[in-house]
Structure 1
């Protein structure tokens, strides 16, 4: 993607549950004279975006064409990969004059993507951040400069590691309380007004019926897939090993999310389905 005062052609690659709404939010905030190119390996996803924005003349194309160098080109990577690979990509693109590369993974889920309330964690120089910030503000609410290249990804992986642990702990605590005779609504209210409160307990509670807006109340459909959480968890563990940072709870979390990903019943469901898994695996050893 490129800043509108420099290049008036924009490109967006990856139009899934997150990318599609992000691309549409970005497009809606561009001048009518700008052109936007979209691409996805699933052509139907690209067609859906084009159809929704058809009145605004969006066309489909590859993200870059002919791989030509262009000093003013700005490439923003919002995917979640390992920081080492991201820094390597940055060096290659910078050295070949292909463009300026920045890592900018986001948090906020599908709901945040649709509402343009995502939080972006940016790794790059201060000058690059100044170029990136107004672009990302079109798709999100919080845009934070984390530091040098790769630090945006480190921040995202640290956050998702904590999220994985909080989700697992919340599922265990709720399972424990319910089996001890507590009404899940009462238990959730206690936790969310006490020191155990966290995002998994308050916003994405894993017990069906506690929060009607949470995936748990929709048979765990939608949200962040268990397989994706396991992928991010593996990336976080590898990244922590590279900087010699101990993650003492990683083995337990890796075991359980690995089981969810390997089970066709759970791999595509929201990662809060770990609660349902615990319900059916009373003797599961984490």
Structure 2
């Protein structure tokens, strides 16, 4: 028989909930990089943190940080207290968790060099600091930054990579998928933080594994997009209605995200960027950046890539076309069409 005793209130004595007498340790967060993705991620993080926590915001464009802090303060719901920082070091010096979302590898490296120089020698935090980089950069740079963290803050901090998928729409809705590269022992600490900004965390392996997964995925996406554009153009030039052709492809073995969700032919998918002048979506410059990062990673391990090289050339040339700049990467269809399908 179980020895567990059921608790029953004594008659006439009011029932009371039992709470721990140990106060919750308040956490300090820093969010560095408030571009289109970071702005929305920081907003979701702040709104879902417990009152009493603090989130310090920093961006090279200080007006973006001030605007976001103002929006956070006017929320009716609780959330962490927002503060605007004047430098990366100011944002990070009291932080238990630092999240960065920056454009290029050089920005990530220079940011962490700056903050490490200023926080090295400070008293350790109650538990080891977490540096979570959600930038899409090359694994080599990410590994270099991790080594800098280990050299400067030995035993006091962990640097992990957590690039994401879902775009600005997913960042705003809090539905991002994070590809996490970290020691397995850290996942239980990292996952709740990332889930405040997204809906799924995929632990891909040790540090840099998240970036490897992100670059491999975006490499495939870039190639699929070029292939889909060429296939759709072939069918259209042979007299097929593009919607009919898309239905056939999406019911057959050619089905992919580029054909079903982000079809490059205007009018085929009403919600796709192609149907609104290729505005919004994933910019061709960003796809070009990710393809180059994937190529750089391949070169470092002496891996020859045939399809990736050809697709990269397509994006290189298309990105120089005035009609493509700033538009969704599916705009390569328009360039193919303009050049009679012979490539940009």
Offset at residue 239 of structure 1 (A): 0.6
Q: Distance in 1 between matches of 2:165 and 2:325?
A: 20
TM (normalized to structure 2)?
Answer: 0.78
Counterpart of 2:78 in structure 1 is none
Counterpart of 1:129 in structure 2 is 187
Counterpart of 1:270 in structure 2 is 328
8 Å CA contact 2:335, 2:343 repeated in 1: no
Counterpart of 1:47 in structure 2 is 66
Counterpart of 1:68 in structure 2 is 119
Q: Distance in 1 between matches of 2:146 and 2:249?
A: 43
Secondary structure of the 1:262 match is coil
Counterpart of 1:171 in structure 2 is 229
Offset at residue 96 of structure 1 (A): 0.8
Q: Tell me which moved more, 9-18 or 84-93.
A: 9-18
Counterpart of 2:57 in structure 1 is 38
Deviations 1:30-55 (A, max 9, x none): 01111111122223432332232122
Q: Choose which of 236, 244, 254 in structure 2 pairs with 1:186.
A: 244
The alignment of Structure 1 onto Structure 2 pairs a total of residues equal to 282
8 Å CA contact 1:93, 1:101 repeated in 2: yes
Q: Choose which of 7, 12, 15 in structure 1 pairs with 2:34.
A: 15
State the Cα RMSD in Å: 1.8
2:149 counterpart of 1:93: yes
Decide whether aligned partners of structure 1 residues 85 and 6 sit closer, same or farther in structure 2, where only a CA change above 3 A counts.
farther
Q: Distance in 2 between matches of 1:95 and 1:26?
A: 29
Q: Distance in 1 between matches of 2:252 and 2:152?
A: 54
Q: Tell me which moved more, 62-71 or 241-250.
A: 62-71
Whichever of the two has the greater Rg, that structure is: 2
8 Å CA contact 1:15, 1:46 repeated in 2: yes
TM (normalized to structure 1)?
Answer: 0.92
Q: Choose which of 180, 198, 222 in structure 1 pairs with 2:256.
A: 198
Q: Is there any run of 5+ residues in structure 2 with no aligned partner, and where?
A: 1-23, 76-80, 94-117
Q: Distance in 2 between matches of 1:76 and 1:6?
A: 20
Secondary structure of the 1:10 match is strand
Offset at residue 137 of structure 1 (A): 0.9
Offset at residue 238 of structure 1 (A): 1.2
Q: Distance in 1 between matches of 2:270 and 2:186?
A: 41
